[in-house]
Structure 1
Amino acid sequence: MAERLDAAPADLGALVDRVAAVRRRGGAGRAGRALIGLVGAPGAGKSTVAGLLARALEIGGTPCAVVGMDGFHLAQRELDRLGRADRKGAPDTFDAEGYVALVRRIRVQRPDSPIVYAPLFDRHLEEPIGSAVPVPAATPVVLTEGNYLLLDAEPWRRLPRLLDETWYVEVDDADRRERLLARHLAHGRSADVARAFAHGSDERNAELIAATRERADVVVRWRTTTGA
């Protein structure tokens, strides 16, 4: 059974302590490093948790890199060509093999390895930007966040073996849907299109992701009504 940790923007102590415990165990194939995945439904707060935790670690003197699965979104032009634009965010709208390969590269980094560069998803452009996130080999903590880290399908099912731990981030579903709708509106979608995404493809993806919850090492109950 997954361990449960409660956290909030002003109270990240349990998460910081958990990261320290992973490092003490000698994560990511070498002593002193932790490679942790954060998974959850759209709007659950993965990006918010990862960003706040990284900041807390940095303040405490532990450098941290955050790598998002969203950087592996297929470009809009490719989604249009494949006829998948209306399902953007579904598992087959990502370069999943590319993401798994990146996580593996980070996993096998050694202190003298070159920097690994990860892509970033720009929510204003709604497009990925390559080589935007540097992950130096000496970085002691790497957080990677995304929807499908626990999906039992190829190539996603390879990810848990590459990660030291996987944390499932959850919030109240009503709050999650409300934040998700607000996100779509904030990024320029009309009210009708925003609702269609939030209650259509996003909700179908959320149900798929929820079914993976039991595979997580830790369930993080995120106590806030704000965030991403």
Structure 2
Amino acid sequence: MTPDFDTLARQIIGAAEGASRYLVALAGPPGAGKSYRSDQLCDAINQYLPGQAGLVPMDGYHFDNAVLGEQQVPVKGAPHTFDVEGLRCDLERIRQGIHPVAVPVFDRPLDLARAGGRLITLEQRIVIVEGNYLLLDRSPWRELRPLFDWTLFIDVDDVVLIERLVNRWLEMGQDRAGALARTHRKDMLNAQLVKSCCLSPDQRWR
């Protein structure tokens, strides 16, 4: 199913009616377009409910390279290279809705997370959380599932993912050989894991 942003926004708004906080997980493999689509979906909701939608990117919870060490930096982006417990704690605070919550944001060109890069305010009662592993059926990731009111999985064919991922690495300064290596030896391995070991979403977005 491929609903447009407006249809999906109205669907979420209807489901969130009366809720003081409503959390939506938007998951999918690397290169699926999660960042773009989550931004557009958040904007679409805010067109109807100004200031009531916020966005939490999972990538902000990457462990820093200094924490990962030389052996783990090459596989950065794999499930074990994220602070899942930190994400869980922040999502619980967001659900409680007692105070604004500052969340980290990943700076891809600098390859690091910026602490407190975004603020989820009390007015933002609909919160979209986007990331690769939000529906991964492995501990500790599966323990996040009860925190989400509604889940959405972006499904994209591998051939499209590969093209997007190669272009992403090229734009970041990799040569063709390096871009292909990073795509096939890292990103697509993570993509296959996401696709094959996913909890059933409430809706698939193809």
Structure 1 counterpart of 2:2: 6
Select 1:36's aligned residue among 24, 29, 53.
24
User: Over aligned residue pairs, what C-alpha RMSD do you find?
Assistant: 1.5
Q: CA deviation at 1:214?
A: 5.1
Which residue does the alignment assign to 2:74? 86
- State the SS of the aligned residue for 2:32: coil
Mapping of 1:97-176 within 5 angstroms? 97-109=85-97, 113-176=98-161
1:177 Cα offset (Å): 1.2
Q: What are the superposed Cα offsets for residues 28-51 of structure 1, whole Å, 9 maximum, x if unpaired?
A: xxx253210100000011111101
TM-score, normalisation: structure 1: 0.84
Which runs of structure 1 show a deviation greater than 4 angstroms over 4 or more consecutive aligned residues?
A: none
- TM-score (norm. length: structure 2): 0.93
Q: Which runs of 5+ in 1 are unaligned?
A: 222-228
Q: Which amino acid aligns with 1:186?
A: E
Partner in structure 1 of residue 58 of structure 2? 69
CA contact (8 A) 1:22 1:164 kept: no
Asked whether the equivalents of residues 45 and 170 of structure 1 are also in contact (C-alpha less than 8 Å), the reply is: no
Q: For 1:92 and 1:192, how far apart are their aligned partners in 2?
A: 26
5+ residue gaps, structure 2:
none
Quote the Cα distance in structure 2 between the aligned partners of 1:219 and 1:159: 19
List aligned pairs for 1:42-53, cutoff 5 A: 42-53=30-41
Question: 2:109 aligns to what SS in structure 1?
Answer: coil
Rounded to whole Å, the distance in 2 between the matches of 1:118 and 1:130 is 7
Identity %: 36
